[in-house]
Structures are given as structure tokens and as C-alpha cells.
Amino acid sequence: MDLKRISASAKNTWCPGCGNFSILNTVKTVIGSIVDGGVPLEKIIMVDGIGCHGKIADYININSFYGLHGRSVPVATAIKIAKPDCKVLVFAGDGDAYGEGLEHLLFAAKRNCDITMIVHNNRVYGLTTGQSSPTSPQGHKGRSTPFGQHEQPFNPLELALAAGASFVARGYSNSMDELKKIITDAVNHPGFALVDVLQVCATFFNRYDVYNKQVYELKDHDAGNRDAAVVKAREWNYDTESPIALGIFYKQIRETFERSFPMPPETPQPRIDSIKKILQKFV
């Protein structure tokens, strides 16, 4: 597919050097491959949270929905249940997914609804100017923690594994080839997939130098072994020394939520006319 087909005209307002650019370009390429593989473009749906990451919906011209901050997962789950033949991609921030929306993430992992969740983990609240998030390091000085963050960060991969996620992976915005492979596998995975992307916030938490030294590609790892995945997930806990594995930590095939969801024999159709009338009020 010619990627111009999904280019949007909205002005890009991300800061120069922001890791979101490579996620955007990678996702566009993956969407192109999905369409080339036979999925109609209108059957690929993006759901976004609120934050710098969420603007990705403005920059890709496909069906999309902005959820409330932290609430993109329930929206995505509902879309998938109503339209099981659609590919549903959720984009969330670390504040969005691991703070405000944590319970949604854990229950989505437990439920195994077939949605792909891509977390732009820049380890700060970027849009609101760099406050500490659940993955900021201890001691982090942001506008809400001028004397340094007291709490320790938690480990989202370990949390997702504990909650029962059937696909858990980590990517890095500066390793685009690896990221493309991971996101492609995640989208093709029939179940809930969490892709935690170390997305560098060039303005409020620039980690390029640190991550570039620490990251490595997972090899000789048995992604079918949950215990091995937990050990790998624990290898790095946001320090500046330990190796940071990139790749698929865990992958398991089990029944998805929407397959076992008891739908009524006659699924009610949305009343398009009444929706159109409501939308007209905003024009």
C-alpha cells in the first residue's frame, strides 16, 4: 500500500528528536503491511489516550477514537467485541496506561481480548511538561516532585505477566527495525498484546545516551516459558547499568475474550441516522 494513503494533513507538534516520530513511522509501515496482507484499511482501528502519544491519531489517516486519559482500553475492548473482524490498536502513554488506566490494562491482560496495546513509555507525563509517572526513576525531579520522586518505579512487563497477558514485549524508539518486527508480531497475535516502547522524550527525560548503551536484542530466549519471561522482565528495573532486553518476552495462545463473549443472536445495529443527527450539532 502506498503510505500516502494514510498520511494526514494535521501539523505535527511533537518536539524535534521526540521518539514518537519513529513509532509513528513504524506503525504506518506495519499498517501498510497489514493492508497488503489482505485486511481492508477501514478494518484497522486506532484508539488513543490523552498525552503527546495520543496525537499519533492526528497523524495517521485511519478510523480512530480518542479515549479519555487512561480509558482507551475499555473503548478498544468494546470495539473489538462489536467488530471482531477488525484489528484494534491502542496507543497509550506511561501515565495513561500505568497510572490512570492501570486497572484497565491488568483486566485486559486477564481477559485476553484481541487488542494490541502500544505504550509510549517516556517515563514522564510529557504533554503536561514532565511530571513524574509510574515509571520515572526514584529521585526524578519534575514539576510535581521538585525535591525528587520518593517512590520506586514499577515494572510494567512484570505486572502484565502477573495479570495473565498472553503477549508481552519491549521495543525502543531508536531501534526501528526491531520495533517493526515486534509491533507486527503483536498485531498478528490472537490475544491481548502489550508492547512497552521505550520512547524517548527529548525535552523532559532524554535517555538516548543511556538506553543506547544498555539495550540488546533478545536471542536464545524461550518466549513460551512464562518463568523465563519473568526473569527477563526483572533483568532491568529502570537503573542505568543493567542490560535492557528488546523483543518478545512472552507469547501464549489461548482463547480470546470476544470468542467466548455471549453475543445475542441478533446483534443490534447502530442507529446511524440518530448518530448523524447528533454529529450535525457539532458541525
List the helix and strand counts (H, then E) for the chain: 11, 10
Told to check if 22 binds ligand TPP by CB under 6 A, we report no
Residue with cell 526483572: 234
Told to check if 125 binds ligand TPP by CB under 6 A, we report yes
Letters for 52-91 (x = contact with ligand TPP by CB under 6 A, - = none) are xx---------------x----------------------
> Site for ligand SF4 (CB under 6 A): which residue of 95, 126, 134, 142?
126
Please report, as residue ranges, which positions from 3 to 42 form the binding site for ligand SF4 (by CB under 6 A).
14-15, 18, 20
Q: Which residues pair with 264 in a beta bridge?
A: none
Are 138 and 152 spatial neighbours (Cβ–Cβ below 8 Å)?
yes
Task: List alpha helices for 153-240, DSSP H.
Answer: 156-163, 176-188, 208-214, 226-233
Letters for 46-75 (x = contact with ligand SF4 by CB under 6 A, - = none) are ------x-----------------------
Told to check if 196 binds Mg ion by CB under 5 A, we report no
> Site for ligand TPP (CB under 6 A): which residue of 80, 87, 111, 120?
120
- Binding site partner of 203, from ligand SF4, Mg ion, ligand TPP, none, Cβ cut-off 5-8 A by kind: ligand SF4
Letters for 84-123 (x = contact with ligand SF4 by CB under 6 A, - = none) are --------------------------------------x-
Query: Edge to edge, what strands does the sheet with 44-48 contain?
Result: 64-66, 44-48, 87-93, 116-121, 193-198, 167-172, 244-251, 215-217
Instruction: State how far the Cα of 221 lies from the Cα of 218, in Å rounded to an integer.
Output: 6
**Which DSSP symbol is given to 245?**
E
Told to check if 203 binds ligand SF4 by CB under 6 A, we report yes
Instruction: State how far the Cα of 207 lies from the Cα of 199, in Å rounded to an integer.
Output: 9
- Binding site partner of 105, from ligand TPP, Mg ion, ligand SF4, none, Cβ cut-off 5-8 A by kind: none
Number of residues that bind ligand TPP (CB under 6 A): 19
**Which DSSP symbol is given to 236?**
-
By C-alpha distance, which of 186, 60, 40 is closest to 117? 186
Chain residues binding ligand TPP by CB under 6 A are 49-53, 69, 93-96, 100, 120, 122, 124-128, 133
